[in-house]
Amino acid sequence: MELDQKEEVSEIAAPALTAEEEILFADMIKAGVIYGRKKSKTNPKMGPYIFATRKGIEIFDLPQTLVLLDKSTVFLKEKIEKKLPVLVVGTQPAAKDLVKKFAEKFGFFYVVERWLGGTMTNFKVISKRIEYFTRLKSDKATGRLDKYTKRERLKIDENIQKLSKVLGGIEKMTHLPDAVIIFDVEEHQTAVREANRLKIPIIGIANSDSNPDQINYLIPANDNSKTSISWILEYIEKKLV
């Protein structure tokens, strides 16, 4: 479903928008940031962030989304200025490449393949797995694995590749993060629960089926579209640099 940009921008303009705001909201609509889930899947607690329903699809209130996005970005900028660790989580196909690129640009840790249960709540165990992974890579680089047969080395290489997928983005994370950014909070409920349990603040890009009570810094938006995720990340990047 696609909305008429001029018509929708005009409708959401409850006071009149500046020319700059009009362009901004039109870009958000074009990127698909505005689209929620089907009305039947909506979490009632997300009601305040819904502007309307179009053909059974929830439409986000973009002025609210933008205000909350700016609030989240201010919080994130404070973490960067204090050089505090931030973890970004986005494993869905539409997000993973974008999330990894964004995280690497700002020196954040990231999980883009599979969230390992206990990554935060059982960090001591995860740290031991990271140490093992690091040691394997070091042994390979220094030739310590040459004593093994070719078949054994192939198996070790396969193990390194598997560990790299799930641990590569947090390999240098020696302490728990001071903030977590989660794309699609419903998809990553285990990560959400771990952060909540440890009282680690969450910036959550949440669709209309999400529970906003779990999120410290809510960004109500389409979390399932690559164009939407890309727009959100680009917007945050511009505010951070």
Asked if 204 and 187 count as a contact pair (C-beta separation under 8 A), the reply is no
d(CA 30, CA 231): 10
**Number of residues assigned to the chain:** 241
**pLDDT tens column, 40-98:** 999 999 999 999 999 999 999 999 999 999 999 999 999 999 999 999 999 999 999 99
pLDDT at residue 143, rounded to an integer: 87
pLDDT band at residue 228 using 50, 70 and 90 as cut-offs: very high
- How many other β-carbons are positioned within 10 Å of the β-carbon of residue 194? 21
- How many other β-carbons are positioned within 10 Å of the β-carbon of residue 84? 12
Q: Assign a CATH topology to domain 65-120+173-240.
A: Rossmann fold (3.40.50)
What percent of the chain is modeled with pLDDT above 70? 93
Pairing type for strands 86-89 and 202-206 reads: unpaired
Q: Please give the average per-residue pLDDT across 225-238, as a whole number.
A: 96
Per-residue pLDDT at 7 exceeds 60:
no
User: CA triplet 202, 205, 206: central angle to 5 degrees?
Assistant: 105
pLDDT band at residue 15 using 50, 70 and 90 as cut-offs: low
Of 6-20, 81-95, 105-119, least confident by mean pLDDT is 6-20
| Residue 207: closest CA among 73, 26, 43 | 43
Domain limits, the chain = 5-61, 65-120+173-240, 127-170
Q: Please give the average per-residue pLDDT across 205-230, as a whole number.
A: 96
Q: Please give the average per-residue pLDDT across 157-182, as a whole number.
A: 94
pLDDT at residue 11, rounded to an integer: 58
Of 118-122, 124-128, 149-153, least confident by mean pLDDT is 149-153
